[in-house]
Amino acid sequence: MPSGSAIRGTRVGSGPIRPSERCEPAPRRPVTYWCANDHTVEISLAAEVAPPATWDCPRCGQPAGLDAANPPGRQRPEPYKTHLAYVKERRSDADGAAILAEALANLRQRRGGL
């Protein structure tokens, strides 16, 4: 009778073999970013990859740049949008009037043609 375990021959807490025993890790290089709040962010990237121009600061969430003397400015928070604002982005006034007329016609028909 099967026990229902998909992984056989392992025990709880067992981990993979250390990477140094199986393969050599890819060459990496540190890249440092600075944000407008004087936070320093250091990440490791693959040696052959070009670093992105900005990186999000994990401490304050603002964008961080590669130039310590000239970090990117603060992001303006996007204002809260209501459901109606999103609908108005998708539909024109003419589309809204047509949908309203159709809904009112259906309502009148259900109520007996008032």
Indicate the annotated binding residues.
35, 39, 57, 60
- Could you list the residues known to form a binding site for Zn(2+), using ranges: 35, 39, 57, 60
Could you count the other beta carbons within 10 Å of the beta carbon of residue 21? Answer: 7
Q: For the chain, what's the residue count?
A: 114
Determine the Cα–Cα distance for residues 29 and 86; give it in Å rounded to an integer: 44
For 24, the token pair is 């050599």
b/e per residue, 43-53, with b = 16+ CB within 10 A? eeeeeeeeeee
